[in-house]
Structure 1
Amino acid sequence: MRDDRSYAAIVAVFAAFLYLAILVAAFGLISLATNTEVISDPAVGPLVGPVMCGAAVLTVFGFLLAIGTHVPAERQRISTIVALTVGFAAYIIFAAAGGVAGAAGDPAQPFHYFLFAFDQLGSWYSITAGIAGFVITLLYQLVLVGRFRQRGRPRWPWERDDE
């Protein structure tokens, strides 16, 4: 059982880095295609964007770690409801983290950052963060289910004891 949890934790780390890479690539492509900036309000500062991405990555990582380590290997399933929940959480946290980070940097105008976070909920970038969280969670579940069902490392055809 210990090997299953450590395997799930390691795969969760790689999935979180994949999520970050997908966010960076998707944000760059969306920015080029729509001729917009990821952070449309320059008054919020240069660190709000990285904080938003970091919060979304940590959210997805936390969910993946919980899915992989708290659910026993024999009960691992591919669940679209769980994946939708993770995607929705990443979407909400991405937008909310922008408001919180902006308000922490400039406490004189908290309502401005509340409106900034609310505005982010409708942006393509927040929607992309949620969709990417959904896809990464589905892929993570697929990897875990495939690994736990085969029991052990992959084997070449000549290594099997079928005869």
Structure 2
Amino acid sequence: MRDERAYATVVAFFAAGLYAALLIAAFGLISLAAETDVVTDPAVGPLVGPTMVIAATLMLLVLLIVLGTRVPGERQKLSPGAALGVGVACYAVFIAAGGIAGAFGDPRDPLHYLLFALAQLLRWPAITAGILAFLVTLLYQLVLVGRFRQRGRPRWPWERDEE
């Protein structure tokens, strides 16, 4: 049981790294395709975008560790509902982190964080953060299901005892 949890945790860290890399790449492509910046409000400051990505990545990491370690290895399964929940949570944290960081960027306006967060609701970067979290969670679950069903490390054909 301890090995299963350690494996699920290590894979969760790799999945979170994949998520951060996919977010950065997707934001670059979205920015080029739409000819706009990811954070369009210059008053919020230059650290809002990285703060939003870090917050969404940390939320994904925590949720993947919880999903992977709470269920025993033999009961791991592919759960699109849980993946959808993780995607919605990452979407919400992405927007909330942007709003909070935006409030720190312009502290003179107390409602600026709310307006910035509301502006992010239907923008492609926020939607992309949720969709990618959903997809990475499905891949994470697929890796765990495949690992625990095969019972141990992969074996070469000459290592198998078929006689």
Alignment of 1:73-92 (within 5 A): 73-92=73-92
Gaps of 5+ in 2: none
Task: Give the match for residue 126 of structure 2.
Answer: 126
Show CA shifts across 1:47-78 (max 9, x none).
Answer: 11110000000010010000111111111110
Task: Give the match for residue 107 of structure 1.
Answer: 107
Distance (whole Å) between structure 2 residues aligned to residue 158 and residue 67 of structure 1: 35
Show CA shifts across 1:65-124 (max 9, x none).
Answer: 001111111111100000000001111110110111121343321212211111101100
Q: SS of the residue aligned with 2:111? A: helix
**Deviating more after overlay: 95-104 vs 4-13:** 95-104
Q: SS of the residue aligned with 1:119? A: helix
Percent identity, please: 66
Distance (whole Å) between structure 2 residues aligned to residue 29 and residue 155 of structure 1: 40
Query: AA paired with 2:117?
Result: A
Task: Give the match for residue 72 of structure 1.
Answer: 72
Query: AA paired with 1:7?
Result: Y
Over 3 Å off, 4+ runs: none
Q: SS of the residue aligned with 2:39? A: coil
Distance (whole Å) between structure 1 residues aligned to residue 144 and residue 118 of structure 2: 35
**Deviating more after overlay: 106-115 vs 127-136:** 106-115
Task: Give the match for residue 56 of structure 2.
Answer: 56
Task: Give the match for residue 153 of structure 2.
Answer: 153
Query: AA paired with 1:104?
Result: F
Task: Give the match for residue 38 of structure 2.
Answer: 38
Query: AA paired with 1:56?
Result: A
Q: SS of the residue aligned with 2:36? A: coil
Gaps of 5+ in 1: none
Show CA shifts across 1:6-41 (max 9, x none).
Answer: 000000000000000000000000100010100000
Distance (whole Å) between structure 2 residues aligned to residue 19 and residue 144 of structure 1: 17
Distance (whole Å) between structure 1 residues aligned to residue 44 and residue 145 of structure 2: 42
Distance (whole Å) between structure 1 residues aligned to residue 114 and residue 38 of structure 2: 17
Query: AA paired with 1:52?
Result: M
